[in-house]
Structure formats: structure tokens, C-alpha cells
Amino acid sequence: MISFEKIEVDHENLHLFLPFKLDTILVLKLTGCFLQVVNRLQKDYVYETLLNYGIQYDNTWIYDKIHHEINQFCSSHTLQQVYIDMFDQIGEKMKDALQGDCTQYAPGIEIISVRATKPTIPRSIKRNFELMEEERTKVLVWFSQHAVVVFLIFALSSKKEKNLSNPSTPTTQGILLKTYC
């Protein structure tokens, strides 16, 4: 929703009437994910913001910046983390990153919210991910089975050593008879 309001700016005895963007919604298609950013330009900072960045101030501080931030986020996390584990945190992380720079360099811009819609994963990426998960599961199963076998061998050898150290047990007596007869 974009609403306009006329405001009067008094700068060096000059009265200007400027359109004022209260809310701007940007929808960005990034790797199948739509990000919706809602921001507000505070009245006290309209003149300064428009003077420094023009009427398309949101291109500089939101649109261009969100591309950079989403690239940083995606490059520092795995596909599993981005699409599944941490997806619910993307909006808040993007909001914090955008607001941090706006507060420092363009203080009149307030980031109200960032919302990310669930992405559609391309078939080829999805299939590769599924194949990797299948292989990972096979390896985990193999290691689990191998661990059980190693444990059984260790347990049996410990039991055998224990029995050999006690010559009065029937098993040990049988082993001693076979060995010496």
C-alpha cells in the first residue's frame, strides 16, 4: 500500500510541498522466494532523505540492500538451513540488517516488517538434495551396523579373556582340555 501526503518543508525560507511515501511494499523474487518489505519514511526526515537519495530512496536502502543481505545469508548457510531449518528467521534477520544500515546512514527510514514466502525449490535441486539425503542415510545405517558388530566382537573377546583368566569355569576347562589334549 502506498499512501501520499503533502507535507510542508521549511528549508532556508523555502516552502516545498513534496509527496510523502508512508508505506512501500517491495516484492523481490530471489531464488524462488518472495520477500515483502514494508517501510515508512518519517516526516521529520523527508527533506534530508529526498535531498540525499532522491524520490527512489528505497531502491538504495531497501531493494539493493536486500539483495546483498539475502546473498550473504544464503552463502553462509546450507540448503537445508535456508529452506527448512532457518526459513522462519529470514524475515527477522533481513529486517534487522536493513534497519541497522538505515538507522546509521538514513535515519528517517523505518523498516516495519519483512516477510518471506515459502520458496518453490527447482526440481533439479530438489532431486539432488533427495539423492544426497538417501546416500547420507545409507552411510549412517552402515556406520550403525558397523558399530554394533564392533561392540559384539569387543564384548565376546572381553568375555573370552575373562573366562580364560578363571580356569574353574566349564568353558575354560573345555578350552584348556582342547588346548592340552
The pLDDT score that the predictor gives to residue 100 is 95
CB 39 within 8 A of CB 20: no
Quick: pLDDT tens for 122-154: 788 788 888 988 998 998 888 888 777 777 777
Kindly give the interhelix angle for 64-75 and 90-105, rounded to the nearest 10 degrees. 130
Q: Which residue has the higher pLDDT, 135 or 33?
A: 135
Give me the residues paired with residue 38 across strands: 25, 113
Q: pLDDT averaged over the chain? A: 75
DSSP 18: E
Q: Which residue has the higher pLDDT, 177 or 123?
A: 123
Q: How many other C-beta atoms are found inside a 10 Å radius of the C-beta of residue 102? A: 20
| Alpha-carbon distances, residue 108 vs 6, 60, 92, 162 (angstroms) | 17, 14, 20, 79
All three cell numbers of 130: 533427495
Quick: pLDDT tens for 87-114: 889 999 999 999 999 999 999 899 988 8
Instruction: Give the fold, CATH level 3, of 6-119.
Output: Tetrahydropterin Synthase; Chain A (3.30.479)
Count of residues for the chain? 181
DSSP 169: S
pTM of the model: 0.56
Residue 13 confidence class, pLDDT cut points 50, 70, 90 = very low
Domain ranges in the chain are 6-119, 124-180
Residue 64 confidence class, pLDDT cut points 50, 70, 90 = confident
**Whether pLDDT at 12 is above 70:** no
Give me the residues paired with residue 116 across strands: 35
DSSP 86: S
In the numeric block, the cell 527533506 is attached to: 47
